[in-house]
Amino acid sequence: MEKYRCIICDYIYDPKAGDPDHGVSPGTRFEDLPADWVCPECGAPQDQFEKI
């Protein structure tokens, strides 16, 4: 699974870890994130992330 970086604040979304504090289970691919999920650090929308 590929990681994605927020181009605003450099937060890294790691699918292996998910984002359990915001309801995203470990193992959730970036492409499968809920439509309303935003960067937990700066609130940027998903279109502000790039694959790394």
Which two tokens mark 50? 């790039």
9 labelled ligand-binding: yes
39 labelled ligand-binding: yes
22 labelled ligand-binding: no
Check residue 22 and report its DSSP letter.
Answer: G
Which two tokens mark 14? 């790691």
52 labelled ligand-binding: no
Question: What is the distance, to the nearest Å, from the Cα of residue 1 to the centroid of all Cα atoms in its chain?
Answer: 12
Enumerate the known binding-site residues.
6, 9, 39, 42
Enumerate the known binding-site residues for Fe cation.
6, 9, 39, 42
